[in-house]
Amino acid sequence: MEPPSQRLTIKDLPINERPRERLAKYGAESLSNSELLAIILRSGVKGDTAIDVANRLLKRFDGQLREILSADLKELESTRGVGFTKAIQIKASFELAKRIFETDGEHQQVVFPQDVVNIMLPKLKFEKQEKLYILLLSGKNYLLSKKLVAIGGIDYNTFKPKEVLHIAVKYNASSIILVHNHPSGDPSPSKQDIEITKKIIDAGKIIGISVRDHIIIGDGKYASMREAGEIRS
């Protein structure tokens, strides 16, 4: 009988069924999602191999890796067999993968709304909260930096445009582009989105920093306030 404290590991599987050995022999693309997750998890728990735990995790999130990526630590570690340490391993691995596909964008010229989407979509497409970023641009529309300025929706009554413009001044930006996500998937600007944009535009005129656009990213689509006629200059 297996000792109560002993955990089943991938090494307990027949060698031709071990994900690590199969990856080494056939390549990572030959493994299923559960097998790749099992490699990250490394070990199972009493009565379950790492693959069993990986399958349980996938089942909980309807087989959607993007849902696992956006899950918080408590959601992950509450899955039987995962726990705190394995939840940390999963979050770290998925974050590294996410960063690989993020476009850093430094010295990239930003001319069209799609340029903004290409830069920001990797950061925003899995977010469950609204996040507002500003892209800081040089006089020739090269990206100097991108900064997060608000999380969890924007309160029109407390939002301070001067704080956004202070960042632009710090980076010696000639213009800025606002960009945020709508977790609902619908990128249509709300009345509040339009009001805040105009508030920032008016403040920017005072110090000579223009707002070139405000891009809202939804589920597989985006909206440009300039293209919609809400921004004119």
Which pLDDT score is estimated for 108?
84
Residue with the larger pLDDT of the pair 98 and 222: 222
pLDDT above 50 (res 2) = no
Same domain, 22 and 91: yes
What is the residue range of 144's domain? Answer: 113-224
Same domain, 128 and 95: no
| Cβ atoms of 87 and 42 closer than 8 Å | no
- Sequential DSSP letters for the chain: ---TTPPPBGGGS-GGG-HHHHHHHH-GGGS-HHHHHHHHH-B-BTTB-HHHHHHHHHHHTTT-HHHHHH--HHHHHTSTTTHHHHHHHHHHHHHHHHHHTS---TT-B--SHHHHHHHHHHHHTT-SS-EEEEEEE-TT-BEEEEEEEEES---TTT--HHHHHHHHHHTT-SEEEEEEE-TTS--PPPHHHHHHHHHHHHHHHHHT-EEEEEEEE-SS-EEETTTTTS---
Same domain, 89 and 140: no
Tell which of 77, 100, 123 closes a domain. 100
Q: What is the mean pLDDT of residues 99-112?
A: 70
* Structural domain count of the chain: 2
173 lies in a domain?
yes
Q: Is the dihedral of CA 115, 117, 122, 123 positive or negative?
A: positive
| Cβ atoms of 141 and 109 closer than 8 Å | yes
pLDDT digits (tens, 9 = 90+) for 156-207: 666 788 888 999 999 899 999 999 999 999 999 999 999 999 999 999 999 9
Which pLDDT score is estimated for 206?
92
**Tokens (6 digits) for 162:** 């001067």
Please report, for the domain that includes residue 54, its CATH number.
1.10.150
Same domain, 168 and 217: yes
1 lies in a domain?
no
**Tokens (6 digits) for 21:** 């050995």
Which pLDDT score is estimated for 4?
47
| Cβ atoms of 220 and 184 closer than 8 Å | no
Same domain, 44 and 85: yes
**Neighbour order of strands in the sheet with 131-137:** 143-151, 131-137, 175-181, 210-217, 222-224
Same domain, 67 and 132: no
Tell which of 72, 100, 128 closes a domain. 100
Which pLDDT score is estimated for 158?
66
229 lies in a domain?
no
pLDDT digits (tens, 9 = 90+) for 131-154: 999 999 999 999 998 999 888 876
Q: Among 4-18, 36-50, 200-214, where is mean pLDDT lowest?
A: 4-18
Same domain, 90 and 38: yes
Same domain, 134 and 82: no
Q: How many residues does the chain have?
A: 233
Same domain, 118 and 94: no
Same domain, 91 and 119: no
Tell which of 75, 100, 125 closes a domain. 100
Please report, for the domain that includes residue 195, its CATH number.
3.40.140.10
232 lies in a domain?
no
Which pLDDT score is estimated for 209?
94
